[in-house]
Amino acid sequence: MPRPKILLTRRWPTAVEAVLAERFDATFNIDDLPMTADAIGEALRTHDAVLPTVSDKLPASVFEGGAIRAKILGNFGVGYNHIDIAAAKANGIAVTNTPGVLTDCTADIAMLLLLSVARRGGEGERQIRADAWKGWCPTHMIGTKVSGKTVGIIGFGRIGKAFAQRCHFGVGMDVVFYNRSIVDPAEAARYGARQLPTVEDVLATADFVSLHCPGGAENRHLMNAARFAAMKPGAFLINTARGDVVDEAALVVALEAGVIRGAGLDVYEAEPHVPERLRGMENVVLLPHLGSATEETRNAMGMKVVDNITAFFEGREPPDRVA
Ligand code: DGY
């Protein structure tokens, strides 16, 4: 039996690529350049599995233009809003993701952003690197205390819970959250958190609002001009979820007008593009989508994909099938 022919759209951790090369007839992206939509469409017609990442776009149009050979998309990542799931299903293609293994690292990045923006870590670093620090004084670069403040979490899934735990038990914050479904209060209390009925209730209560919901149509521009205006004066926004959850143009206006005090962002609407006006603001901490970027987590994500496609081609149900 010939081995299934698979294609990776980007370079993956070396150890994971080695396992894939042993088990499959694998095409690697040696140059690690993002693939065009046309190239991804061609891969779907010539390979049994395509393994995309968040940096790829798979709209309905990539599934058009000829007979599709691919039977599975083994996504390297938990979020899959870059894939048109309906179009994949319509073409009989299974889709898997990598839940669980990036929970802690993504929650850590949210905490890094919260602390950095509150305590002006980015500004301080830039000042020293510019050799502009004049020395300690009582009024220098004064930030915002986080202990005792309230953080509001939108989306209480794995990452939202891990972030709540860090905020409450790590730095002594009160934690409220909004979640579409009701969470058992005893379960919420394990993370030091309390559910509120609406997004607006969270915005009215929180000194820091942190987004942990999925991207895609249902949450597109969940944070818009009206919702920035509904945040407490002087509050901060943290986004480690997906760029499209925030109306980026409205965020820029809200920051420039002082409607909110600052933002910590790991994700953007049109990555890797980050609006120049955001890049120019001192009260904004900007990271290049680092949520899952640790050696341990990226290896674990890759091995989840290995498990998913191995199960699929052995005729078993892939453990992390989402479609
Ligand atoms: C994910 O897994 O969805 C991340 O955003 C990519 O690291």
Name the token pair of 317.
């149900």
List, run by run, the mean pLDDT of 10-residue segments along the chain (323 residues). 96 98 98 97 98 97 96 98 98 98 98 98 98 98 98 98 98 98 98 98 99 97 98 98 98 98 98 98 98 98 98 98 98
Instruction: Starting at the earlier edge strand, list the strands of the sheet with 150-154.
Output: 193-195, 174-178, 150-154, 208-211, 236-239, 262-265, 284-286
How far is ligand 1, taken at its centre, from the CA of residue 132, in Å? 36
Yes or no: say if 163 and 153 are a contact pair by the CB < 8 Å rule.
Answer: yes
Q: How many CB atoms lie within 10 A of CB 131?
A: 6
pTM above 0.75, yes or no: yes
* Residue nearest (by alpha carbon) to ligand 1 atom 4: 77
Three-state DSSP class for residue 281: coil
Residue 97: predicted pLDDT:
98
**Each residue of 67-104: pLDDT tens digit?**
999 999 999 999 999 999 999 999 999 999 999 999 99
User: What pLDDT score does 1 carry?
Assistant: 82
Residue 45's pLDDT is 98
Domains and their CATH numbers in the chain: 5-101+295-313 (3.40.50.720), 103-286 (3.40.50.720)
Structure-block tokens of residue 82: 């870059």
Tokens 């830039």 sit on residue: 126
Q: Kindly list the protein residues whose Cβ atom lies closer than 6 A to any atom of ligand 1.
A: 54, 77-79, 102, 291-292
